Structure 1
Amino acid sequence: MSRSSWDFGRSVGHVGAADLVISLDHLVRTGELAPGDHVLLLSQGPGWISSAGVVTIKEVPAW
């Protein structure tokens, strides 16, 4: 759990399909991600729907 975005997500709540993007943005803005890091993004939906993606951080954006 210490390597997840659970603490952030539970304070924000469910925001639909934007959950993954908001969590990724939070990790970048708080400096928890650095170039070369790999991030596993997982999502699920009703029934047997599950999606996953691995993102490699190439550079930290200026924003």
Structure 2
Amino acid sequence: MTPASTALLAHGLGGSTDLPIPYTYALIGAAWTLTFTFAVVALAWRQLGSIRTSRVGHCRRG
């Protein structure tokens, strides 16, 4: 193996043939992680939108 291919394997791009858990569990965990992440981002986005709309028109002009 070349150093470049070793670096790729070290970053998880080489495949999932030697996972310590079943492949199905890894897929389920990845799906839950994505779902949770998108839910947190959606809630934060909604919160940010309400903060922005409450400040509209309150700018001081010199």
Coarse TM-score class (shorter-chain normalised): under 0.3
Q: Which has the higher helix share?
A: 2
Is the radius of gyration larger for structure 1 or structure 2? 2
TM-score normalised to structure 2 length = 0.26
Q: Which has the higher strand share?
A: 1
TM-score normalised to structure 1 length = 0.26
